[in-house]
Amino acid sequence: MKVDRRRLELTLEELSRIGETPRGGLTRLALSDDDRRARDRVVAWMRATGLAVRVDRMGNIFGERPGTEPLPPVMVGSHLDSVPTGGRYDGQLGVLCALEAIRALDDHGVRTRHPVTLVVFTNEEGARFQPAELASGVLAGRIPLEDAYNARDKDGIRLVDELERIGYLGPEPCAARPMRAYLELHIEQGPLLEEGGYSVGVVEGIVAISWSRVTIRGTQDHAGPTPMRTRHDALVAAADVVAGVRRLARDIVGGDMVATVGQLSVAPNIVNAIPGTVTLSVDLRDPSDSALDRALPMLERVVRQACEREGVRWELEHYWRVPYTPFDPLVVDTIERAARAAGARHRRLRSGAGHDAQYMATLGPAGMIFVPSRGGRSHCEEEFTPMDDIEYGATTLLLAAAELARAE
């Protein structure tokens, strides 16, 4: 069994035009008009493929291909939202490969005992509404619906109001249902597959992730007459924190830990005022939960010492945490067999990026299939994956889903 490479390529080209940036990337923020257009397009493809479509209260979209028996479904999917000036593969490639796998089952006249359900998760990136993986987190019962509804973007707009506005505040409860397995194809977003000449990554697990918010309050003042000896500059303290976060991951904890200060806002953010308030984000990741647990008090010490040096006040809030997620060994083995049957050069690896599969793995057997990222690049317009590798990955997804759904 194979996928239809040209059909898959055409769907990717068409969907990539929704939210396309001038440099060929994607800006399609969650619940934006572009997200709505992309959702509408995928729902139309679902319906044209004969899937029974339903939408839940978090805007997650499900398209079910019936099985021959009323058994729990094999779920296949990913997300459609992107980061600002992101790439055209992160998320949407997984949705389109899942759609293509279902279409290929039809092409080959394959019936499966279990239904196969295509799923699109809302707000995976956490770029507009925080934290990431918000809708799969609600589905998994890890994040209260009301908290997700009240998440606000940088303009103070609530998630629930945007769901309503774009017409994806669905009637179905956003709650777990029995499932046979969950499979997600995704780009690796790192260098390992390309470096080794592999087309497919058999993902064994996903790193633990912690997101924190630091708020630093100094003394806003005039940039001119205020003597250096009397200043309490929030941005000077923040600069120390940024450098301290890098040292913490690289020199102190070391090993596999990574740390990023990706977001930083300054008030009043004008040339001639000493910054009074700075807020910044800290993203820490490590395959070891205990390493992450050790790092959080170290982060607090970095913040406290930087702020004491500058005589400014600070708050530190750890507001999102997902543990290291091992995938189900039987699903991992099934994916590995499928990659071999697809004729793909493949290897096992771990994911350094978070995915909805982290929460889905708490609901049942889950696994992921990676395809290479050119230069390991992602969350940027340069993101690229060759069509040959996409074909291998999509065929692997097709074969693994068919096996788990008990093709007849």
Residues of the shown chain interacting with ligand HGY in the complex, contacts defined by CB under 6 A: 124-126, 132, 353-354
- The nearest distance, CB 353 to ligand HGY, in angstroms, is 4
- The nearest distance, CB 379 to Mn ion, in angstroms, is 6
Tell me the three state secondary structure of residue 123.
coil
DSSP code for 400 = H
Closest CB to ligand HGY among residues 82, 112: 82
- Rounded to whole angstroms, how far apart are CA atoms 150 and 166? 17
How do 208-217 and 200-206 pair as beta strands?
unpaired
Token pair of 53 as six digits: 């479509």
- The nearest distance, CB 91 to ligand HGY, in angstroms, is 8
The one of ligand HGY, Mn ion, none whose footprint includes residue 143, by CB under 5 to 8 A per kind, is none
Whether the CB-CB separation of 347 and 198 falls below 8 Å is answered with yes
Distances (CA, A) of 360 to 31, 119, 135, 152, 175: 21, 11, 11, 24, 11
- The nearest distance, CB 126 to ligand HGY, in angstroms, is 6
The one of ligand HGY, Mn ion, none whose footprint includes residue 354, by CB under 5 to 8 A per kind, is ligand HGY
# chain residues binding Mn ion, by CB under 5 A: 2
Closest CB to Mn ion among residues 91, 367: 91
- Rounded to whole angstroms, how far apart are CA atoms 6 and 12? 10
DSSP character string of 149-169: HT-B-TT--BHHHHHHHTT--
Site string for Mn ion, 99-138 (x = CB under 5 A): ----------------------------------------
- The nearest distance, CB 187 to ligand HGY, in angstroms, is 10
Exposed/middle/buried for residue 337 (C-beta within 10 Å: 0-12, 13-18, 19+): middle
The one of Mn ion, ligand HGY, none whose footprint includes residue 365, by CB under 5 to 8 A per kind, is none
Residue with tokens 């994911």: 351
The one of Mn ion, ligand HGY, none whose footprint includes residue 131, by CB under 5 to 8 A per kind, is none
What are the backbone dihedrals phi and psi of residue 112, each rounded to the nearest 5 degrees, phi first?
Answer: -125, 150
Contact with Mn ion (CB under 5 A): which of 90, 162, 356, 391? 90
- The nearest distance, CB 64 to ligand HGY, in angstroms, is 26
Whether the CB-CB separation of 71 and 183 falls below 8 Å is answered with no
- Rounded to whole angstroms, how far apart are CA atoms 128 and 300? 26
- The nearest distance, CB 260 to ligand HGY, in angstroms, is 10
Distances (CA, A) of 113 to 17, 73, 235, 398: 36, 9, 60, 15
Torsion from C-alpha of 32, 38, 39, 44, nearest 10 degrees: 150
- The nearest distance, CB 341 to ligand HGY, in angstroms, is 29
Q: How many CB atoms lie within 10 A of CB 122?
A: 32
Q: How many CB atoms lie within 10 A of CB 177?
A: 14
- The nearest distance, CB 208 to ligand HGY, in angstroms, is 12
Residue 91 interacts with Mn ion (CB under 5 A)? Answer: yes
Beta bridge partners of 56: 172
Closest CB to ligand HGY among residues 117, 210: 210
The one of ligand HGY, Mn ion, none whose footprint includes residue 132, by CB under 5 to 8 A per kind, is ligand HGY
Closest CB to Mn ion among residues 118, 299: 118
Tell me the three state secondary structure of residue 249.
helix
The one of ligand HGY, Mn ion, none whose footprint includes residue 91, by CB under 5 to 8 A per kind, is Mn ion
Window contacting Mn ion (CB under 5 A); options: 91-99, 293-301, 330-338, 341-349? 91-99
Closest CB to Mn ion among residues 187, 235: 187
Beta bridge partners of 185: 369
Closest CB to Mn ion among residues 346, 379: 379
Closest CB to ligand HGY among residues 201, 276: 201
List residues binding Mn ion (CB under 5 A): 90-91
